[in-house]
Structure 1
Amino acid sequence: MARRDYSSDVAMREAMAAVLRKGRSILNLKAFVEESLGVDAWNRLLAAQPQTDRSVLVSVQPDCWYDMEIHARINRAICDVLYDGNLAAAESLGRFSAERDMFVMCRRIMKFMSTSLIFQLMNVYWRQDESCGLWHTRLVGHDLVATLSGWRVADSVLCRRILGYIRRTLELCGVALDLECAEHDECCALGDRSCVFRFRWQHQSEPALVSEYADKFSRVPELDSLFRSIVDIAHVRLSFPYVETWVQSGSSGELTSYQSFGVKRSGIVHSYLLQIGNNRMGRLDVEAHDDSRLDVLGDMIPWLAQMLHDALLSSEQTTTLRSFHLRLRLAQRAWKLTLRETDILELLLRGLTNEAIAKRLGLSISTIEQYVTRILDKSDTRNRSTLCWVFWIEL
């Protein structure tokens, strides 16, 4: 069977012998076709595939691993069947996937990074969805040179898609590229040992860069989205097993835990203060088993501190939102709620019905009703109205 789920460590080690890619890539293809050509185009494409591929493609899961051959065949089929063999469609696919993968807040943070730091993160991003392959990057004059080695795939269509993906990622990160100078001059599909991608950026004067950064800083992010972005980079992208964010609470200046993700193990917890001058606004704690990614995170701290400062000075709506999430974390601890129960509590407090919650989380209504009953029991309340009163007034 083509579909494989390698969620356990043992299965993952076995999978490394083959070339695999996460299903998220296939779902990006589906979204690209449906948004560009309509749902009928995707159905027409599926009908033209072998039965073994169709049985996999109709039930793809984003975090499951799939044989690279299926990815290669569906990429090529899109170019051949829907775009009359035009390989430029593969690059458009890559650009589309980059825009879907890099949500808005992540783009904002990465725009404050240097180009070299963005390239340091390339391997981190790559290993989220690929079972093999290693990126080596270097700057040669005004050329950004990225070499992909150890990727046992020789397919020109996939390489064109990667070219488009990297190109769009760099653009979203604020790198000013010369659009006429993006090349893939060495390729495994042509017999070369590695795939090499070259990009040329446009020179900007120092005053222009200062003006650009000032403009970016003026776009104040909303607090909750900012912390989600920090956690996404630290926990998901940089693979720290435990991440906890803290924010200043009240006039005393004490820091209160805002969000935590993962489970503390036996590693060393490193703390980074988010402050400007003597103004301590928050803290980021990460657990690391080695120091390989701490330098990357450390380079980001000054930018994150500035963005947190701006977020805390924003509107009353932000203050209310901050209070809501602080109370939500307090309720989770006081009532000993599970992560799923906390998610459902948040949706309850936002006024969603059981039916709406079930649809959003992909669960049955009866399951949601069971969760709501548990939340009411743990909070010692009889109904939603009492729950809201206790949450906002008595907690």
Structure 2
Amino acid sequence: MQQIKGAILKARLGFVEQHWGRAGLDQVLAALPDDDQRALRTLLTVKWYPFGIGERLDKAIVDVLGDGRTEVFERLGAASADANLSTVHKQFLTPGRPHVFLGKAPAIYGFYYETGRRTYEQTGESSGVLTTYEAETFSAPDCLSVIGWYKRALELCGVQNVAITEDECRARGGQVCRYQVRWQNAPAA
């Protein structure tokens, strides 16, 4: 069974509390089964948790606070990048060298997911492809949070106008989750 790190779940809960306050967080938690509520109230960022808890949390966020709109997950991914790449995973950032940063995708993936793998292939001076293979579980909200996370991470590396589109997704019947990544390099100072 696919598992995810508590850091992913903690970032989602932090995002909810930051944007909707403690009352919003309490509403989301109340929409979850008792076992999930207990697990989420005692999260450890380094512990592995069943992917299903994350799926149910994502659904509760969309249903309770997102008015049924899943776009909230791209914002959530960006907030997670801000939180994690300014602290525990800061060493992944490579200012001015986006391809070097994206080349670390396999290692970054391993910090957050227990099964599967992610690769990066450079396709141009300011473009590339991230592909996730063999993840036991997947969801459209998780893919949106990946897009938001990488967009923000690339901005933290100093590039501009980042655009990421998922042209194949396992949640929509694809064989892999593949993300086309493009950006503009910042003008030289």
Alignment match of 1:46 (pick from 20, 29, 50)? 29
Match of residue 37, structure 1, among 6, 9, 20: 20
Give the secondary structure class of the aligned counterpart of 1:49. Answer: coil
What's the counterpart of residue 76 of structure 2? 93
2:171 to 150, 171, 189: 189
Q: Structure 1 vs Structure 2: percent identity of aligned residues?
A: 27
Which residue pairs with 2:154 in the alignment?
170
* 1: CA distance, partners of 2:68 / 2:77: 16
Following the alignment from structure 1 to structure 2, what is the Cα–Cα distance between the partners of residues 109 and 43? 34
2:109 maps to which residue? 126
2:130 to 118, 132, 146: 146
> Are the counterparts in 1 of residues 159 and 185 from structure 2 also a CA contact under 8 Å?
no
Q: Is the 8 A contact 1:88 1:160 kept in 2?
A: yes
SS at match of 2:115: coil
Amino acid at match of 1:173: C
Q: 1:109 to 1:158 in 2, by over 3 A?
A: closer
Letter of the 1:195 counterpart? C
The aligned residue for residue 202 of structure 1 is 184
Superposition TM-score, scaled by structure 1 size = 0.45
User: Structure 1 residue aligned with 2:40, among 33, 57, 62?
Assistant: 57
Which runs of 5 or more structure 2 residues have no equivalent in the other structure?
none
Secondary structure of the corresponding residue to residue 151 of structure 2: helix
Deviation at 1:107, TM superposition (A): 7.5
Aligned-partner Cα distance in 2 for 1:131–1:55? 22
Provide the TM-score with structure 2 as the length reference: 0.90
**TM-fit CA distance, 1:177:** 3.0
Q: Which runs of 4+ in 1 moved over 6 A?
A: none
2:11 match: 28
Tell me if structure 1 keeps the 8 A contact 2:118–2:132. Answer: yes
Maintained 8 Å contact 1:107/1:172:
no
Mapped partners of 2:105, 2:54: distance in 1: 21
Deviations 1:179-231 (A, max 9, x none): xx321110001111100111211256xxx43x2xxxxxxxxxxxxxxxxxxxx
Q: Computing the radius of gyration over CA atoms, which structure comes out larger, 1 or 2? A: 1
Decide whether the 8 Å contact of 1:177 with 1:199 is kept in 2. Answer: no
> In the TM superposition, what are the counterparts of 1:167-316 in structure 2 within 5 Å?
167-178=151-162, 181-202=163-184, 208-209=187-188, 211=189
Cα separation, 1, equivalents of 2:172 and 2:60? 20
Q: How many residues align?
A: 187
1:108 CA drift (Å)? 10
Do 1:28 and 1:97's aligned partners in 2 also have CA atoms closer than 8 Å? yes
Amino acid at match of 1:85: G
Q: In structure 2, what is the Cα distance between the partners aligned to 1:164 and 1:109? A: 16
- Work out the CA distance in 2 between the residues paired with 1:200 and 1:79: 28
Cα deviations across residues 100-137 of structure 1 (Å, max 9, x unaligned)? Answer: 0011793796214x222112212112211210121121
CA offset digits 1:21-70 (Å, max 9, x no partner): 11111111111111111101111111111122112112111111100010
Q: Summarize the Cα distance change of 1:46–1:108 in structure 2 as closer, same or farther, 3 Å threshold.
A: closer
Q: Which residue of 2 aligns with 1:262?
A: none
CA distance in 2: counterparts of 1:152 and 1:108, whole angstroms: 25
CA RMSD, 1 decimal: 2.0
Q: Which runs of 5+ in 1 are unaligned?
A: 1-17, 212-395
CA displacement 1:203-261 (0-9 Å, x = unmatched): 56xxx43x2xxxxxxxxxxxxxxxxxxxxxxxxxxxxxxxxxxxxxxxxxxxxxxxxxx
Give, in whole Å, the separation in 2 of the partners of 1:128 and 1:107: 13
Indicate whether 1:82 and 2:76 are aligned.
no
1:159 alignment partner in structure 2: 143
3-state SS, counterpart of residue 38 of structure 1: helix
The DSSP-based 3-state class of the residue aligned with 2:159 is coil
Greater relative contact order (CA < 8 Å, ≥ 6 in sequence): 2
How far residue 147 of structure 1 moved from its aligned partner, in angstroms, is: 0.6
The answer to whether the 8 Å contact 2:105/2:118 transfers is yes
Question: Where do residues 317-336 of structure 1 align in structure 2 (5 Å cutoff)?
Answer: none
**CA 72–108 in structure 1, closer or farther in 2 if over 3 Å, else same:** closer
